[in-house]
Chain A
Amino acid sequence: MDDREKLNRLRWRCTRRAMLEMDLLLGEFLERIFPTLTPEQADAFVVLADMEDLELWPLINASRECADPVQAEVVALLRNVRVK
C-alpha cells in the first residue's frame, strides 16, 4: 500500500467509529495534528486508532494512563483537541 492508501485507510478508521465523540476527535486530530507528528508518534497514533472506542476513551478522558511513553505523548495531544 502506498502512503495515500495508508492515509485513506487511517482516515476511514478514524471517522467511522462506534461513537460520535471518537469520529469527531480522531477526525480533527488527523487533519490538524497528525501531519506534525514524528514518525514514532505517527506509529503510536495508528496503534491508538486501532483500539476500540471504549478502550481509547478512558485514555483520552484521563481516567486511565498510558504505559508507553510515546503513546502517552500522543494521548496528551489528543486530550488537547477541541472540536467546534
Chain B
Amino acid sequence: MSKLTIPVRKFDAVIVGAGGSGLRAAIQLSEAGLKTAVLSKVFPTRSHTVAAQGGVSASLGNSEEDHWHWHMYDTVKGSDWLGDQDAIEYMCRMAPEVVVELEHFGMPFDRTDEGKIYQRPFGGHMSNFGEKPVRRACAAADRTGHAMLHALYQRNVRANTQFFVEWMALDLIRDESGQVLGVIALEMETGEVVAFHAKATVFATGGAGRIFYSSTNAFINTGDGLGMAARAGIALEDMEFWQFHPTGVAGAGVLITEGVRGEGGILRNSTNERFMERYAPNAKDLASRDVVSRAMVTEINEGRGCGPNKDFVLLDITHLDPAMIMKRLPGIREISIQFAGIDPIKAPIPVVPTCHYQMGGVPTNYKGQVVANDGTPVKGFYAAGEVACASVHGANRLGTNSLLDLLVFGKSSGDSVIDDLKSGAIGLKALPENFADRTMARLDRLNTQTGGADVNATRLELQRTMQKHCGVFRFKEMLVEGVEKILEIEKAVARTEIKDKSQVWNTARVEALELDNLIEVAKSTMISAEARKESRGAHVRDDAPDTEANPNGRDDLEWHKHTLWHRDGNRLDYKPVIMKPLSVESIALKTRSY
C-alpha cells in the first residue's frame, strides 16, 4: 500500500453537511469562537432541506392550547414506541425555544392577525394525549425549508463559519482508541484530497433515500455519512425503518401532495375500482399514509396494477372542476405533465408508494453525541439531522418533526462539542501515521480498475432490488432473497470502473464514491429488515399480521428493541429502547391506533 501524505488543515470543529442540521450546529460553534469548517457537496442553500414545505412543529400554543408533553406523547405513539423517550422529551421541550430562536435569526414565519407565528394542523399531532388534532406546525408559506436554510446561512456568514463548497467528505479519521479526529475530503474543482484534522467532527449529511428506485429524495441523498460511519466501524441503528409516501409519480418519484386527495382525488386500480373503499371504509383515500401505501401495494401484488407492467395505480382528479384544480392545487398539473407525461385534467396520474424519509442512522444520544453500543460517547464524534438516530422518530416519523430534529439536535450537538472541549474530554490528538491509507487505496482501486462494473447500471440494480425486496410492504422470502442479491451487488460495487481518470471536476469519480456509500445503506437496511420478524411502524411484514396477541403485528416481547448493524461481518445486535424520559413519567406501551 502506498504511504501517501496528503495536505492537512486544522480546525476546532469540522461539520460535514450544510443542510438545516449542519448549519444549526455551525452557528453554535462559530458563535462560541471556535474555528469551524462546514463541508458540503453543494452550495449550502441547495441542500435538500429546501424541499421541506409542510413546516416545523412546536407546541407554541399560538392558535389554541398546546403543551410539549402532548407533543411528546404524539411522537412516542407515532414512533410505535421505538423512539427513545429521553430524546423525545428533550426535543419536544426544546421545540418552542429553537423555533423562536429561528424567528430571531430572521425566519419569515407566517403570522396570525396578532402577529404571532401562525400554526396549522398536521397528521398525528394532537392535543391532550391523542384527543383531537392540534395546530402545531409553523410554516413560511410553502417554502419553510428554503426560508430556514437562508436564515441559518446568513447567521453563519455573520459568525465567520468557513464553508468548503463542492467538497465531498470521503472517510472518517479514527485513531486506535476509536477517537474521531476529522475527515478526509475531496475538492471537486481540483481533485485534491485533503485531511480536515479537528477536535470534533459533526455529521449532518442528511438522508439516503436514493437507495430506492422510487424516491422523493433529490439525487444528493446518497447516505454518505452512513457509509463513512459504517466503514469506520460505527454500527448503524434501526436501518429497516423507512417512511414511504403513498403518492409519488410512478417512475420519477416526484411527490404529489396529500392535498390532492384532500381536495377529492381518488385512487383507482386497473378495473377502475375505488379500491380504498375496501381497505378503509370510512377514511377511504384519506386514510393514513401507511394504510394507503399498503393498500396500493396489495392491489399491485394481486395483479390489479395499471400500465403495461401492472406496476402502479392511478390517482384520479378528472372528475374535479379544472378551475378548482388550477386554483387549489397549483403546480400539480405542471408536475403531472412534466414528470408523468399526462394532463391530470384529462387523465389520471400514475402513482406508487415512494421512499420519503430515513428513520434510522448513526446512533446518538439526545446531546447529539454519537454513542457506542453501551451508550458511551464515541470521542470527538457528533451527528444530527436525518443521518442521525437519536432516536426520536423510532419506527415512524411524524410530519414536521424532522425540521424540528434539525434545529434541536443541530444545536445540542454544537453545545456538546463546546462542553466536551471545556471538560477536556476531547482535544487535538495527533493523526495516526497511516490515517489516509484506506481512502487512498479506495481511490487508487477506482483509478486502476479495468474490466469492471458500470456505476450507473450497478446503482440502478441496487435501487430496483431495494424497491422490489424491501419496499413498503415486506415478504419473508423476498427479504431472504434480497439479502443474497444485495451481497451480490456489493461485489459489483467493489469493482466499479470509470473511464474518466482526470482530476478536475471528475463527476464520474464522485458518483462512484457515492455508490460506495449507497451500498452500505442498502446492506444495513435489507439485513436489518430481514431479521426483524415483526411489523412495527413503517416496517410491515406480510408474515407478521394483525392478531389479538400482536395487534398490528407488533411483537413487543421479542422486538421492542433497537437494531444495530455492524458492517464487519454484517453482524446484528440489539439494544433496549430508552423508556425513561428526563422528567416525566414513562409513556407505557400501547397499541398504536388512530
- Kindly provide the distance from the CB of A61 to the nearest chain B CB, expressed in whole angstroms: 4
Knowing A12-B166, A84-B341, say if A18 contacts B47 (CB, 8 Å).
yes
Assess whether A24 is in contact with B331, with CB atoms less than 8 Å apart: no
B137-151 vs A, CB cutoff 8 Å, 1 = contact: the mask equals: 000000100100000
Given A20-B217, A20-B218, A20-B254, does the pair A12, B505 have CB atoms closer than 8 Å?
yes
Q: For the complex, is A21 an interface residue (Cβ under 8 Å from B)?
A: yes
Cross-chain contact B505 with A21 (CB below 8 angstroms) = no
Residues of B within 8 A of A82 (CB): 337-338, 341
Q: Which A residue sits closest to B216, measured CB to CB?
A: A20
A54 pairs with B219, CB closer than 8 A: no
Residues of A within 8 A of B189 (CB): 9
CB of A35, distance to nearest CB on chain B (Å):
17
Query: Within 8 Å of chain A (Cβ to Cβ): is B253?
Result: yes
Kindly supply a per-residue 1/0 record for chain B positions 25-56, scoring 1 wherever the CB is within 8 Å of any chain A CB and 0 otherwise. Answer: 00000000000000001100111111100000
Collect the chain B residues with CB atoms within 8 Å of residue A17's CB.
42, 46, 218-220
Name the A residues within 8 Å of B510 (CB-CB): 12
By the criterion CB–CB under 8 Å, are A15 and B219 in contact? yes
| A60 contact set on B, CB distance < 8 A | 334
Give A9 Cβ to nearest chain B Cβ, in Å.
Answer: 5
Quick one: given A8-B505, A12-B188, A83-B252, are A54 and B338 in contact (CB under 8 Å)?
Answer: no
- B338 surroundings in chain A (CB, below 8 A): 21, 25, 79, 81-83
A12 partner residues in chain B, CB cutoff 8 A: 166, 188, 505, 507, 510
Say which residue of B41, B49, B337, B507 sits within 8 Å of A11 (CB atoms). Answer: B507
Neighbouring B residues of A84 by C-beta, 8 Å: 251-252, 341
Q: How far is the CB of A19 from chain B (nearest CB, A)?
A: 5
Question: Is A52 interfacial (CB 8 A cutoff)?
Answer: yes
Q: How far is the CA of A84 from the CA of B49 in the complex (A)?
A: 25
Total cross-chain contacts (CB, 8 A): 95
Residues of the B chain whose Cβ atoms lie less than 8 Å from the Cβ of A1: 504-505
Query: Does the CB pair A83–B339 fall under 8 Å?
Result: yes
In the bound complex, do residue A19 and residue B506 qualify as a contact, i.e. CB atoms below 8 Å apart?
no
Specify the chain A residue showing the minimal Cβ separation from B334: A61
Query: Which residues on B sit within 8 Å (CB–CB) of A25?
Result: 338
- Shortest C-beta distance, A23 to chain B (Å), equals 5
Instruction: Chain A residues near B143: list those with CB within 8 A.
Output: 54
Min Cβ gap B220→A in Å is 5
* A19: contacting residue among B41, B51, B502, B504, CB under 8 A: B51
In the complex, the answer to whether B219 meets A20 with C-beta atoms within 8 Å is yes
Q: Is the interface on chain A under 10, 10 to 19, 20 to 34, or 35 or more residues?
A: 20 to 34
- Chain A residue nearest to B333 in the complex (CB): A61
Q: B569 interface residue, CB < 8 Å from A? A: no
Task: Tell me whether A4 is interfacial, beta carbon within 8 Å.
Answer: yes
| Contact in complex: A19, B50 (CB < 8 Å) | yes
Contact of B41 among A16, A23, A24, A53 (CB under 8 A): A16
Q: Is there contact, CB below 8 Å, between A20 and B505?
A: no
* Chain A 1-40 residues near chain B, CB threshold 8 A: 1, 4-6, 8-9, 11-13, 15-25, 27
Please determine whether B252 and A8 come into contact, CB atoms closer than 8 angstroms. Answer: no
At the interface, yes or no: B262 with Cβ under 8 Å from chain A?
A: no
Residue in A9, A53, A79 whose CB lies within 8 Å of B505: A9
A17 to B45 Cα, complex, angstroms: 10
Interface residue from A11, A18, A83 paired with B46 (Cβ < 8 Å) = A18
- Nearest-Cβ distance from residue B68 to partner chain A, whole angstroms: 31
Please report the C-alpha to C-alpha distance between residue A18 and residue B502 in the assembled complex, in whole angstroms.
27
Whether, in the assembled complex, B330 has its beta carbon less than 8 Å from a beta carbon of chain A, the answer is yes
Q: Does B291 contact A (CB under 8 A)?
A: no
B186 interfacial by beta-carbon distance below 8 Å: no
Q: Does B480 contact A (CB under 8 A)?
A: no
Write the B316-330 contact mask toward A (1 if CB under 8 angstroms, else 0).
000000000000001
Residues of A within 8 A of B255 (CB): 20
B308-356 interface (Cβ within 8 A of A): 330-331, 334-335, 337-339, 341
A1, A4, A19, A20, most chain B CB atoms within 10 A: A20
- Across the interface, name the chain A residue whose C-beta is closest to B41: A16
Q: In the assembly, what is the distance between CA of A82 and CA of B313, in Å?
A: 20
A-contact bits for B166-189, CB 8 A (1 contact / 0 none): 100000000000000000000011
The residue that A16 contacts in the complex, of B219, B331, B334, with Cβ under 8 A, is B219
Interface centre among A8, A13, A18, A22 (most CB of B within 10 A): A18
Q: Does the CB pair A52–B45 fall under 8 Å?
A: yes
Among A4, A11, A61, A63, the most chain B Cβ lie within 10 Å of the Cβ of: A61
| Residues 215-227 of chain B, each 1 if its beta carbon lies under 8 Å from chain A, else 0 | 1111110000000
Check A20–B507 contact: CB distance below 8 A: no
A83 CA / B219 CA spacing, docked (Å)? 15
| B508 and chain A: residue at smallest CB distance | A8
Interface centre among A5, A12, A19, A22 (most CB of B within 10 A): A19
Q: A53 to nearest B CB, angstroms?
A: 6
Please, which residues of chain A bring their CB within 8 A of the CB of B504? 1, 5
CB–CB B339/A5 < 8 A: no
Q: A21 contacts B335, CB within 8 Å?
A: yes
Shortest CB-to-CB span from B63 to chain A, Å, is 26
Instruction: List 21 A-B pairs, Cβ < 8 Å.
Output: A1-B504, A5-B504, A9-B505, A11-B507, A12-B510, A13-B42, A16-B218, A18-B49, A18-B146, A18-B218, A19-B218, A21-B254, A21-B335, A22-B218, A25-B338, A53-B50, A53-B146, A54-B143, A63-B330, A82-B337, A84-B252
Nearest 6 pairs of A and B residues by beta carbon: A18-B50, A8-B505, A61-B334, A5-B505, A23-B219, A20-B218
Query: What residues make up the interface of A, taking CB atoms closer than 8 Å to B?
Result: 1, 4-6, 8-9, 11-13, 15-25, 27, 52-54, 60-63, 79, 81-84
Q: A21-B338, A53-B146, A79-B338 are in contact. List 5 more A-B contacts (CB 8 A).
A: A8-B506, A17-B219, A17-B220, A54-B50, A61-B334
Task: State the B residues within 8 Å of A (CB).
Answer: 41-42, 45-51, 143, 146, 166, 188-189, 215-220, 251-255, 330-331, 334-335, 337-339, 341, 502, 504-507, 510
